[in-house]
Chains A and B, each alone.
Chain A
């Protein structure tokens, strides 16, 4: 699959306007959610996924994705993202200072993304386009542990989402970084800490099959959104290297 998106920065005081604007544009009320995002790095000693054969034996819809991910990681170790939904009630409880455990049987989403494609004649610089592999499973943390991945981050984000009929997603997100002392399966209390950045990021995103026609259609869809919001939102051009998930050796050490 390929992911294509536009990005814009939204200041805190602009958020109510944006909620109203996008809600009107998409004709739906925003969906508010919290997500825990963790990052995992593979062990330098292991190439790809050590348990790939066992995963392939399972005969479910994720098998081709596991195979694809294994082939990718064999060629180039990358950081993997793991996303877990946190319900509003769990977050409210955590904001009261109570300990909240994330159920181990909740679905997680594993996401790998490639370095975005460079801009070209066909791809304008304000559209980020990158290949992605996504796997949904309840056992992802266990599978990554069995494959000797190490957790390197614990992030929580708050987001608002809207969807158009063509599956273009608008997502407005802000981020918190949890303290190292927070156990891996606990929900962070967002009330006691400032967000990592004092602004929100708006991404207009679409996920399509990795075929030239679909990707071209997706680019056209996003161009249309950009035009429609031309006087209101500024979708900026960011250095694609900031979205590089590859673990590259630099001067003898791995970065």
Chain B
């Protein structure tokens, strides 16, 4: 399909008018019957996802909707029913109340749905911190709570299934930073302050940067993750380091740096994400 694309795409890319061709190609993709989920995944990895179709595509990829568009309506009906049931159940069971954060609600719902909830219902909540953060981010991303819940659950499942061990990812991050950091100053700086051991990398990787990066920018990362490129998290971490290289280098103590990294400025999200995607595309 990509080979038949308009020759102008290159110029679009060149002039920064991205999304024109992608959108068309995506529309073509979506018109197929049945829809090829694999191609959609490829699309996710290769191009920026138009916002209009993100929801739909995610649903398709995350198997919330089936490949055949005829059954979508029914499927969504079922899903929403399920969501309502679950929601009702958790409410009924008083797992949640009115002001419980939506992430928690989704967690409870997920736990109920997966039957993992026990009598000691609050016992395992800490294990699902990642889910909570993902879910809350999803809730922010999506307008519809049903979608949000479904996305969170499916995304979480897929993420759990596909990810490497955290230590492996950390190693990759170190390696990547070493190769990407031009003058090696930052790397040395990290090394000097023994930062690797105390960086919040596992947290970042497990939650896939939910709540770390702003929602608007994290969508693009998640596009890639949804597309199957879980490894992008490594590059996101490196991109964060490189973006904040200067302030980090100026800081002397490890605590300062950690503190700084824990509270990344909001407006840097896009820069980080763009850089991360560049890095990722460069390395993949």
Q: Do A and B come from one complex?
A: no
Residues of B in contact with A (beta carbons under 8 Å apart): none
Residues of A in contact with B (beta carbons under 8 Å apart): none
